[in-house]
Amino acid sequence: MICKACPVCLLIVIYISSIVESDYVEVVRPRGVSLTRKVFYDPLKDFTCLDGSRTISFQFVNDDYCDCFDGSDEPGTSACPDGQYHCTNAGFRPLNIPSSRVNDGVCDCCDGSDEWKNQSLCPNTCKELWRIEKEEREKQTAEESQGYTIRQELAETGRAKKAEREAALKDYEEKLGLLKETEEKLKSHKDEIEAKETEAKDAARKLMEEELAQKTAEENHQRGEQAFAEMDTDKDGSLVIDEILQHKELDPNLEDGSFTEEEAKAILQNDAVDLSVFMESVWPSINGSFETTLSPPIEEQEQPSETSADVKESFFYDDATRELIEEAEEARKRYQANQDSKKNIEREIESLQKGLDMDFGPDEAFQALQFKCFDFETLEYRYKLCPYDKTSQTPNKGGSETNLGRWGSWSGPENFRYSKMKYENGLGCWNGPARSTEVRIRCGLEHKILSVDEPSRCAYVFEFATPCACTQPEPAGDSFPRDEL
Ligand code: MAN
């Protein structure tokens, strides 16, 4: 009763009973018809082509003559060019094939039903296929599960590393804060002491210059007096033209070879001069050319031989100035040391921050790939993947490494973001774009490049296996595949 009122229920009952018995029960229907279409093939009624174009007596279904344009009257023969044959493939996956393949001598269905005219041709391999597929699936699930365990360990390490980086960053930031505070203090102390140092040095330099000028003037005067005494050969306290003429080096016109009385008189600006007139108006004009036999002043001989301005200066600095210079030097050193430490810490912070900004996946597992490189050899090149850094290519026959892209970002589709990596802006391709690489990530028990390809010029695709990409496998269902209801 129930079944008469509801033919689909009958199918369900049969189907469920088949599950319970763990064996497949084939539902009777015309050859080549799927369960979903069975309803259209009622042997007690005329058959209407599925495209609605014709209605024919049911006896013409599968009579090896094509009546319908859509081939629906011949699902189990090859009579119609566009027909569809449905293999039940009990125990495996049902399959639709073009009905032209029915009885063509080739086994298309694992249940062998497409070659029904010669039943010995195609033995039923569905259960075997299912067994193989199940084994393969189980193997994959086991691998996925093992990979997932590794991933969890890597994730733990990744999280620990992140925590370590965060703690170090906090520590460095505190240190930087302190160094900045000290920097201010050291700088104001340095500025203050440097101002005093400059003032003291300027004063000392000025004093030194004044003393030097006075000393030079005194020496000049002394030399003048000595020159007068040397030239005043008759020692009468007066220089005359004859005495000047003895000093040929004073000839204003050395080239003509004669030192005339007029020239000597022009030097004296008179016939005779005493010491005071000589010092006032003669000595300044002959000072440069007069050749003395006198030795240089003792002080000059005692000058230090170093020429460095600082050494010369410090030679003249008084103790108080020298103390100030030392103090300023010490302040500069301490300030510089603080600056150096600050720079080092800023560098550390920058590198830690960079590490923390990296996207190592939702559980930090991909951190395991940072600072590692993986190789893959083809006949022509050795390829390299350094995750989070770059990809490259080196010719086997020798030659330099070509950059195939620098780390860009994760680039998988939404929800599968971590399935692809993008490396961009590699070496420019001759007359083309900059080289780039897409790294396709999949689950594997070890980190390994599986293949490298260059599907379009200078655009590379690496396939990379890693446990970091393994997910928890779905519990393996070992239910038998069923035909559709
Ligand atoms: C090199 C390699 C190749 C690339 C060509 C493009 O030979 O980088 O992968 O296709 O350059 O000129």
DSSP structure string for 299-346: HHHTS-S---HHHHHHHH--HHHHHHHHHHHHHHHHHHHHHHHHHHHH
- Pocket lined around ligand 1, Cβ cut-off 6 Å: 393, 402, 429-430, 454, 457-458
Q: How far, in Å, from the CA of 464 to the mean position of ligand 1?
A: 21
Q: Per DSSP, which regions of 135-292 are E strands?
A: 238-240, 272-274
Euclidean distance between CA atoms 56 and 47, whole angstroms: 5
Q: How far, in Å, from the CA of 391 to the mean position of ligand 1?
A: 14
Neighbours of 172 (CB within 10 A): 19
Residue 268 near residue 280 (C-beta atoms within 8 A) = no
**Which residue has the CA at smallest separation from atom 5 of ligand 1?**
458
Closest atom of ligand 1 relative to the 460 alpha carbon? 9
Q: Which amino acid appears at position 95 of this protein?
A: L
Closest atom of ligand 1 relative to the 430 alpha carbon? 12
Closest atom of ligand 1 relative to the 404 alpha carbon? 8
The DSSP H or E segment spanning 3 is: helix 2-5
Residues in the chain: 485
Specify the residue for token string 């700088």.
187
Residue 410 near residue 420 (C-beta atoms within 8 A) = yes
**Which residue has the CA at smallest separation from atom 4 of ligand 1?**
458
Mutate to test the pocket of ligand 1, among 381, 436, 457, 461 (most ligand atoms within 8 A of CB): 457
Mutate to test the pocket of ligand 1, among 401, 423, 429, 460 (most ligand atoms within 8 A of CB): 429
End-to-end CA separation in angstroms for the chain:
21
**Which residue has the CA at smallest separation from atom 9 of ligand 1?**
458
Q: How far, in Å, from the CA of 288 to the mean position of ligand 1?
A: 79
Euclidean distance between CA atoms 45 and 284, whole angstroms: 146
Closest atom of ligand 1 relative to the 427 alpha carbon? 8
H-assigned helices in 7-104: 7-20, 35-38
Q: How far, in Å, from the CA of 428 to the mean position of ligand 1?
A: 10
Could you read off the pLDDT tens digit of each residue along the chain, which spans 485 residues? 333 334 433 333 333 333 333 455 667 899 999 999 999 999 999 999 999 999 999 999 999 999 999 999 999 999 999 899 999 999 999 999 999 999 999 999 999 999 999 989 999 999 999 999 999 999 999 999 999 999 999 999 999 999 999 999 999 999 999 999 999 999 999 999 999 999 999 998 898 889 889 999 999 999 999 999 999 999 999 999 999 999 988 998 888 878 899 999 999 998 999 999 999 999 999 988 888 765 554 455 445 444 445 545 556 788 999 999 999 999 999 999 999 999 999 999 999 999 999 999 999 999 999 999 999 999 999 999 999 999 999 999 999 999 999 999 999 999 999 999 999 999 999 988 999 999 999 999 999 999 999 999 999 999 999 999 999 988 756 555 554 43
Contact residues for 470 (Cβ-Cβ < 8 A; gap 6+) = 144, 146, 147, 148, 150, 151, 443, 444
Q: How far, in Å, from the CA of 429 to the mean position of ligand 1?
A: 7
Q: What is the DSSP letter of 428?
A: B
Closest atom of ligand 1 relative to the 435 alpha carbon? 8
Distances (CA, A) of 428 to 153, 296, 407, 432: 40, 74, 16, 7
Neighbours of 280 (CB within 10 A): 11
Q: How far, in Å, from the CA of 417 to the mean position of ligand 1?
A: 29
CA geometry: angle at 126 spanning 122 and 128, to 5°? 105
Region of 401 on the Ramachandran plot (φ > 0 left; ψ -120 to 50 alpha; else beta) = beta
Structure tokens at 228: 């007068």
Q: How far, in Å, from the CA of 457 to the mean position of ligand 1?
A: 7
Euclidean distance between CA atoms 361 and 365, whole angstroms: 6
Q: How far, in Å, from the CA of 402 to the mean position of ligand 1?
A: 9
Closest atom of ligand 1 relative to the 457 alpha carbon? 10
Q: How far, in Å, from the CA of 369 to the mean position of ligand 1?
A: 27
